[in-house]
């Protein structure tokens, strides 16, 4: 896996819950990180409430070095009842 991997459970200003993970790599490396988020969601008894977002933080617009690319995946969730 890549060097940088961070994950969070955060609350936005509308009290919606969201899981996210940020990693070094591009969209083609994303499936492994979706699996990590899925495990986190299951482990914490959460339910997915919407579509995921993949956000490119660093890509060819900033560097041509693909080892420097950073992508974030966000998935909205809520407690499963």
Each residue of 43-77: pLDDT tens digit? 889 999 999 999 999 888 898 988 889 999 999 99
| Residue-level pLDDT at 7 | 55
User: Residue 19: in which H helix or E strand, if any?
Assistant: strand 17-24
The average pLDDT across 7-13 equals 48
Strand residue runs (E) in 1-81:
5-11, 17-24, 46-48, 53-58, 70-79
Give the integer Cα–Cα distance in Å for 21 and 31: 12
Comparing 70 with 10, which gets the higher pLDDT?
70
Instruction: Provide the β-strand partners of residue 54.
Output: 73
């Amino acid at each position: 896996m890549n060097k940088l991997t961070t994950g969070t459970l955060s609350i936005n200003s509308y009290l919606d819950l969201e899981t996210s993970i940020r990693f070094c790599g591009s969209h083609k490396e994303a499936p492994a990180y979706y699996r990590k988020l899925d495990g986190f969601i299951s482990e914490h008894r959460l339910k997915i409430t919407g579509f995921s977002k993949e956000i490119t933080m660093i890509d060819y617009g900033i560097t041509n070095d693909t080892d420097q690319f950073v992508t974030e995946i966000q998935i909205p969730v809520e407690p499963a009842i």
